[in-house]
Amino acid sequence: MAEEQDSIVLADRYEIVAGERLQHLDSPGAEAFAVHDRHEPAADLFALIPPVHLACRAFAHPTHQVHSTNMLWPLKVGIIDWPVSGTGEDTIWGRRPAMVFQKPAGERVAPIGKPVTTQFPEPLLLKNVLEPVLHALRDMGPSGATHRAIRPDNLFYQLGNSGAVILGECFSMPPGYGQSAMYETIENAGCLPMARASGTVADDLYALGAMLLTMYLGRNPMAGMTEEQIILAKINYSSFTAMAGREKLPPSLAELLRGLLNDKLSERWTIRSVEGWLSGQHYSPAMPYLPQRASRPISFAGVEHVNKPSLGHAMSWHWQAAIQLVDAPDFDLWMRRSFNDDKALDTLQRIRGAAQNSGPASSMRDRLVARTIANLAQPGPICYKDLRLSLNGIGTLLSHIIDQQDQLNQFGDLMRGRIHQAWIQEQPSLRPEQIQALRPLDDAEKFVDRPGYGYGIERVLYDLAPGTPCRSSLISDFYVTDLRDLLPALDAAMPALEPGTKPMDRHISAFIAANLKRSLDRELSQLNNASTAAETALAILHLLAIVQGVHPTTKLPNLAEVMREMLQPSLALFHLASTRERISKQVDRHLNACDFGAVLLLFDPEGAARRGDEIGFAAARNAYAHKAREIAWIENGGLTDPMRIRTIANRTAAVGSALMASAGIAVLTLVTLL
Amino acid sequence: MGQTEFTLRPKLMLMLLIPLALVFFPTTAVVTTGMIPTLVALVIDGSPRRYLTITVGGFNLVGCSYFLHLLWEMPQGLSSVMLVLGSSYGWLYALLGAGCGWLLFLGMPPVIRSIASAQAKIRLFRLNREMERMVEDWGPEVTSRADAPTVAKK
């Protein structure tokens, strides 16, 4: 039984054995497990289980369109049931993304997190490393994905422990997550590992250049340097010079590396350039791209900086010192006099003005530093206090820090202070993938400060990071990335939750709002303005019914049971007892069929049931009031009023007398005539 | 209650009654004399609708029927009138009739008051029962004022 529980099947084919870890195949942040192929029992496979709180990159690209023998490419990706905790019958199951790969037949070129120790002579380097990796990058083209994990410890030998290599997997973690600063461009190296851009193939080629250099040397040329020092060295000397300037390289290899490690994106070699170079073409050496040098250095955080990007990056690593720097007169003088820039003063004044006007006074200095860095550190990340992120990595970073209140507060301040917009304005130009990120950012800005369900930082998360699993504490173990899976996950989660738990929270409402193709403002406003349990239940039912309408699902018995309990106060919205009883039976019938839409119709304020009840109630209230008035009139002597009594008595006496007279005359006449 | 105008219809009635009264002069004379208590009631009746007059008049007229019965069995002439009006029994009946009318007029209010009290109790009972049923059917909110906002039942 335990063995059956440990084995989880993906796509009715791949049995992933949760109890059989393959640590040597782990990726940074993702754990590897053994896999048995039901169709080909002899196949040697393994599965990677990425973390549950992040969007899995593999789902964002058509991975099935690519078949590469030069890299670990997922044979199948999907979401599987997964034991979250406990063992045997006490196992608690959740869901996780999973990717199945062919096991590499060879060893890893370098242990995970360790530098390469074997030197690769140039001919072997080109034949066994460059060519297979180049093929792998070309193979990835149709998927539209970038690799962003090209480094020696993500290379495997095709066989044994020598010869040609294959590239490791790239989808388990966000782009560039496992890369040290040496393998990243200046712009991405400054970002937090979770906040790097997916970039383009140019970023992969840069990493390829850095990897070729380390493999040729058989060591890390920047060993002993901190990430900050690596970035500053790349800025001050150019990437190629910083990494290979002191090494003796063959001229041909130097030409290749100079092309691949070019800091100017437009001049960096492309796959075609490298293929041309491999076939014997030669290119004129590109001049290193260096920022304008200051006439005199400025000292900051123990380092003499001679250009703006260097100072900007250093400021992003030493925030408190940066706050003091921007207030110091030295900084203004350095900016004005060291670059022969007449407009420097105007620029600084513009930055100060924008910082003052874009948020609360308490964080003005932080905004000033952030905007100053955006102006100085080009290329560089968007920086705010401890956060350093790329424009395309905002969503991924947010999904990582959403549970870390301190960093989340910083993120909120960043959005409110429009630091990202300041960064965009300071850029001389934006790349296409950056332009694509602008629209979601504009939308997210509208929500960040809006209180209530469906808005706030949660909405920003799901808008900026499509594919991010819903982080609600109710269903966080179920890896719900698609609205289709939301209701089944809620249904599965309900039995384990405390009685009375509502199947709705800020994350779920934001997830629905972000993933639905139409605006939910009206329904969210109904939820946010609900003041009674009845109104809250109906608002929640409304959202669930919308989701069920978009993705019909009728096997939701637990969720239906919870809604049955929640809707009891809502039944009291019907005033007439008999109507209430009739509606209660109908609600039970629809909930037994798990039809939330039909239940919602019964409670529709404009529907026949509610309208009829309301009209009847209004009439009943009027009738009751009328009766009450009548009682009061009677009790106040309305019927026994002396005037009324006298009038009636007089009239009665008169009528009686008249009748008596008529009868008397009639009798007299008859007697006389007879 | 506005004062009744002396319009064409009463004039027409008078124009018809006066000749009739002249033709049946003995009857007119006997009735007029026998209805003297009613004339007294008319004088003292201050109500606009003359309920006292009508009540006394009705019974007085019934009382006068004895005079009329005697008169109509005699030849119609002034001698018969004097003879009939000399009947003490006739006056007894006429005055007794008027007295009954007066007593009825005076005795009716306590009777009506008793009836009204009983009717009030019955109506209160019925109204309270209906209101209790409404509360059972519609809930206690039905007792709130119609212009007050509806409060959902918990």
List, for residues A129-155, the tens digit of each pLDDT value.
Answer: 999 999 999 998 888 899 999 999 999
- Say which of B69, B130, B138 has its CB closest to residue A668: B69
Q: How far, in Å, CA of A58 to CA of A78, rounded? A: 9
Residues A376, A379, A385, A386, Cα dihedral to 10°: -150
What pLDDT does B8 receive? 65
What pLDDT does B7 receive? 61
Q: How far is A636 from chain B (nearest CA, A)?
A: 11
Using the 8-state DSSP alphabet, how is residue A361 labeled? G
For residue A378, count CB atoms less than 10 angstroms from its CB and return exposed for 0-12, middle for 13-18, buried for 19 or more. Answer: middle
Q: How far, in Å, CA of A513 to CA of A458, rounded? A: 10
Residue B73 pLDDT class (50, 70, 90 cuts): confident
Phi and psi for A74 in degrees, rounded to 5? -60, 130
CB contacts under 8 A, A 577-596 vs B, are 577-578
CB contacts under 8 A, A 333-372 vs B, are none
- Say which of A645, A654, A671 has its CB closest to residue B113: A645
Using the 8-state DSSP alphabet, how is residue A556 labeled? -
**Coil, helix or strand for A213?**
helix
B128 CB neighbours in chain A (<8 A) are: 631
For residue A344, count CB atoms less than 10 angstroms from its CB and return exposed for 0-12, middle for 13-18, buried for 19 or more. Answer: middle
Q: How far is A569 from chain B (nearest CA, A)?
A: 6
For residue A332, count CB atoms less than 10 angstroms from its CB and return exposed for 0-12, middle for 13-18, buried for 19 or more. Answer: middle
pTM for the whole thing? 0.81
What pLDDT does B154 receive? 36
Residue B62 pLDDT class (50, 70, 90 cuts): very high
For residue B117, count CB atoms less than 10 angstroms from its CB and return exposed for 0-12, middle for 13-18, buried for 19 or more. Answer: middle
- Which positions of chain A have pLDDT values less than 70? 1-6
The Cβ of residue A642 has, within 10 Å, a number of other Cβ atoms equal to: 10
Percentage with pLDDT > 70 across chain A? 99
CB A84, CB A33: distance < 8 Å? no
CB contact under 8 A, B55 and A639: no
CB contacts under 8 A, A 430-469 vs B, are none
